Amino acid sequence: MLRGAELCLASERASVLLEWNPVNLAAYQCEPESLLAFARDHDFDVLSCSHFTVVTSASMLRLAMETCENFLLLPR
């Protein structure tokens, strides 16, 4: 979904609320860390919606995914 929305997100710089969980990602052979790569490549911060903390590493993302499935991409 994010790859398909690249042009829209680049032009509108909208925030994106998304569900990011291991079960859904496995169905598409998508590694959890791909969210961080997308955010880095498109100048977004990733926030865990459980505490609205900025997720800056793969280990932080995996830990956040233990307690939360909702993440927010915020344009920088």
For 8-32, write each residue's pLDDT tens digit: 998 899 999 999 999 999 999 999 9
| Average pLDDT score over residue span 29-53 | 93
Question: Could you tell me the pTM of the whole model?
Answer: 0.88
Please name the residues in contact with 49: beta carbons below 8 A apart, sequence gap of 6 or more: 17, 68, 70, 71, 72
Q: In the predicted model, is pLDDT for residue 64 greater than 90?
A: yes
Q: How confident is the model at residue 3 (pLDDT cuts 50, 70, 90)?
A: confident
| Burial 32-71, CB ≥16 within 10 A → b, else e | beebbebbeebebebbbbeeeeebeeeeebeebbeeebeb
| Average pLDDT score over residue span 27-50 | 94
Q: In the predicted model, is pLDDT for residue 2 greater than 90?
A: no
